[in-house]
Amino acid sequence: MNFKDVYSNAKVSFLRWRANRREEKKSEVKEKWERGHRAVLVVLCVLFALYALTIIYPLGWMLVNSLKTKQEFLNNPWPMPQQLMFSNYVEVFQMFDLASMLFNSLSLSLTVPTASLFATACVSYAVAKYKFPGKRVLYFIAISIMFIPTTGSLPVMFRLMHDLHLYDTLIGMILKGATGFGMNFLILYGIFSGVSDTYAEAAKIDGASNWRVFLQIMMPQARSTMFAVWILGFIGNWNDYASAYMFYPSHETLAVGLKRVSDNITTAGDFTLDYPKLFAAVIITITPVIIIFAACQKQIIRLNMGGGIKG
């Protein structure tokens, strides 16, 4: 073996050693990063678990105490009930006419988000896909409205609904909610802006009208996002106290009626200090929202759009 062969073998061995050393360093760095990553995940899990506990525990405590008698709760609210008093739910449902409140809440929570979503989809689609004079001004107005405090427009809205004879009517509440602007406008504007025009062009070649392109081509592209927006609108209207109290007073919703139930129990009423019945009314009020959110949480979290162009 000559000097050249010895040199080549030594060089190859050195290169292999350096490559192995690099791999070992990469493995060490990767292992350290994974350990740090796991530690961060553990801390976050603990924090979120504590946060979830602060939400779940009051609900569980309220559910347990809604099944007690008045005297049992006043004596000690912490132990489990000696006897399950499901009659609290029946009595509070009958005495305070929660069925009527439930109907009013459902009528508002189903119609207002639907009208609002359709109006917002029309406006956001037109601004995103069509060119017309004042397009930038309209977009600026849509954003500027979000900076106006709600309390600043309430007197004008109250007077307007009175003058148009829409006060205390379901049609008035629907028209009030179908503004077409707000945060939902920005969400749907971004969605429609990201949809390729190839869909619309192909449909128009086949003779589709603008409305057909919008209803059958564009809206299905944004259906997951629109469904999530509708669910959030449903929950928002279900929990809305101010609008129903001010503009829909003779049609008591659960959010408004719960205040009457609370006043009847905490002040001089037929159920004075009967807090288990108040807890039962609260459980009845929040149960539909919890069920809907639990069933649709994936759609709410995703807020994305399906579909795409291959090519």
In this prediction, residues 222-232 reach a mean pLDDT of 89
pLDDT reported for residue 293:
85
Residues 23 and 119 in one domain: no
Residues 185 and 46 in one domain: no
pLDDT higher than threshold 80 for residue 262: yes
Whether residue 311 is contained in a domain is answered as no
Quickly list H helices, the chain.
3-65, 70-75, 87-95, 98-129, 135-144, 150-163, 170-177, 183-194, 198-205, 210-212, 219-221, 223-238, 242-247, 254-266, 275-295, 297-302
User: Which residue, 224, 188, 186, 205, is CA-closest to 307?
Assistant: 224
Whether residue 186 is contained in a domain is answered as yes
Residues 46 and 92 in one domain: no
Give the confidence band of 311 by pLDDT, cuts at 50, 70, 90. very low
CB count within 10 Å of CB 29 equals 10
Residues 210 and 121 in one domain: yes
Q: Which two tokens stand for residue 283?
A: 């459980």
CA-CA distances (angstroms) from residue 146 to 154, 237, 267, 274? 14, 18, 39, 42
Residues 61 and 93 in one domain: no
Range of the domain at 100: 87-306
pLDDT greater at residue 230 or residue 150: 230
pLDDT tens digit sequence for 113-161: 999 999 999 999 999 988 888 888 888 888 887 887 777 778 888 999 9
DSSP for 200-229, written as a single string: HHHHHHTT--HHHIIIIIIHHHTHHHHHHH
Whether residue 76 is contained in a domain is answered as no
pLDDT greater at residue 181 or residue 244: 244
pLDDT greater at residue 99 or residue 301: 99
Number of domains in the chain: 2
Whether residue 78 is contained in a domain is answered as no
Residues 259 and 130 in one domain: yes
Give the confidence band of 6 by pLDDT, cuts at 50, 70, 90. low
Q: Among 65, 97, 118, identify where a domain stops.
A: 65
Calculate the CA 80 to chain-centre distance.
Answer: 33
pLDDT tens digit sequence for 267-297: 766 678 889 999 999 999 999 999 988 888 8
* Residues in the chain, total: 311
pLDDT tens digit sequence for 184-196: 898 899 889 888 8
Residues 167 and 296 in one domain: yes
pLDDT reported for residue 4:
64
Residues 179 and 268 in one domain: yes
Whether residue 39 is contained in a domain is answered as yes
pLDDT reported for residue 205:
87
CB count within 10 Å of CB 280 equals 27
Whether residue 70 is contained in a domain is answered as no
Whether residue 134 is contained in a domain is answered as yes
Residues 101 and 164 in one domain: yes
Q: Which two tokens stand for residue 201?
A: 């062009």
pLDDT reported for residue 28:
73
Judge contact between 276 and 165, C-beta under 8 A.
no
pLDDT greater at residue 62 or residue 310: 62
Q: What is the CATH number of the domain that holds 229?
A: 1.10.3720.10
pLDDT reported for residue 175:
93
pLDDT reported for residue 37:
78
Residues 148 and 35 in one domain: no
| Average pLDDT score over the chain | 85
Residues 216 and 113 in one domain: yes
Residues 146 and 22 in one domain: no
Q: Which two tokens stand for residue 175?
A: 């028209």
Whether residue 80 is contained in a domain is answered as no
pLDDT tens digit sequence for 20-79: 778 777 777 777 777 777 888 889 999 999 999 998 999 999 999 999 999 999 998 989
